[in-house]
Amino acid sequence: MRSGTVRLALPSKGQLGESTLQFFKACGLSINKTNPRQYTASIPALPEVEVFFQRSADIPRAVSQGDMDLGITGMDTLQEHRLEADANVTMLREFLGYGGCSLVVAVPLEWNIQNAAQLATLASERGGLRVATKFPNQTQQFLDGHGVAPVKIVLASGALEAMPTIGSADFISDLTATGTTLRDNHLRALDDGEILYSEASLVANPDAVRNAAAVQRVARRLLELFEGYLAGDSRYLVFANMRGESAEAVADRLFTQSNLGGLTGPTIAPIYSRLPSAAGHWFSVSVVVQNKSLYDAIQQLRSIGGSGVVVTPITYIFDEYPASCQRLDALIAGKEPIA
């Protein structure tokens, strides 16, 4: 911390940078960046925060050294930094729901190699192989663990997929989201070649978290909003009208269906109507359902007499005090190890 502000590092470029801006906006934390070439910004909802845009690969080091208090980066770059240095950086919340990709070992299709054991055999037969990567530490650790040796690490910063074709390396270790670029360049990931699955994550300097009240407040607020948004974004709130002798009778019918249990249970309330068509016992039912189960939930509602179904998205769900905030409190109290 400097000058009473909390320094937050965000990815400056690429898909991760754009997705981070969108994620913060969805969480009610729009970032005010007046000049697209500017490397600082503010968050009106968090006036004590000063945003710095940096390369994702540089963020773990900046946080570890104390230049930044908090940061958003991928698990891939965080793990690489941890392996190359005595990192003073801790994970506050992994898997923020975007930036998903895998660090994989990929080989030329013409090799007809399926797994790491076959790659180890080939490396031994040829007396060594060259692997191009931006992640030398994780790659070396993976290859050592699978007995692939001898191997020479070729550091690269550009498009790795072309390097086997031009002869700069024999195979690669790189990030992939869909595998399309690998296939387009006649490469395939080994069946057991995933080194790490990565998503955007919130990291912190543990000294700043333990010693600066402003950092604690900001970290806790970020975690609460992140958790609330992530919980709500994956669900819908569904309303329906149902006939029944009582609220209990309606609840009994709902509980026979697998997708209508809600978070704790459905909410059921009597409907008061002047319409003759609404004569009898009518109840309004509201239930939270998973996005992926929406269609099935609607069919289940209809099957037990539901009508007038209305579906609305959920912005946030604030449940009990989230586990990530509990870990933050433990870190502040010195009861949680740096991890």
E-strand ranges in 12-100 read 40-42, 49-54, 70-74, 90-93
Q: How many residues does the chain have?
A: 339
Fold observed for domain 6-99+199-232? D-Maltodextrin-Binding Protein; domain 2 (3.40.190)
Taking residues 318-322, report their average pLDDT. Answer: 93
Q: What's the pLDDT score for residue 15?
A: 93
Evaluate whether 313 touches 234 at the Cβ level (below 8 Å). no
Q: Is the pLDDT of residue 137 over 80?
A: yes
Which homologous superfamily does the CATH classification assign to the domain defined by 101-197? Periplasmic binding protein-like II (3.40.190.10)
Question: In this structure, what token pair is assigned to residue 324?
Answer: 């990530």
Task: Return mean pLDDT, the chain.
Answer: 94
pLDDT tens readout for residues 40-54: 999 999 999 999 999
Q: Is the pLDDT of residue 160 over 60?
A: yes
pLDDT tens readout for residues 270-318: 998 777 665 568 999 999 999 999 999 999 999 999 999 999 999 999 9
The secondary structure of 162-229 as a DSSP string is GHHHHTS-SEEEEEESSSHHHHHTTEEEEEEEEEEEE-EEEEE-HHHHHH-HHHHHHHHHHHHHHHHH
Query: Nearest to residue 151, comparing CAs of 168, 135, 139?
Result: 139
Domain ranges of the chain: 6-99+199-232, 101-197, 234-313
Does the fold of domain 101-197 match that of domain 6-99+199-232? yes
Q: Is the pLDDT of residue 159 over 90?
A: no
Fold observed for domain 234-313? Alpha-Beta Plaits (3.30.70)
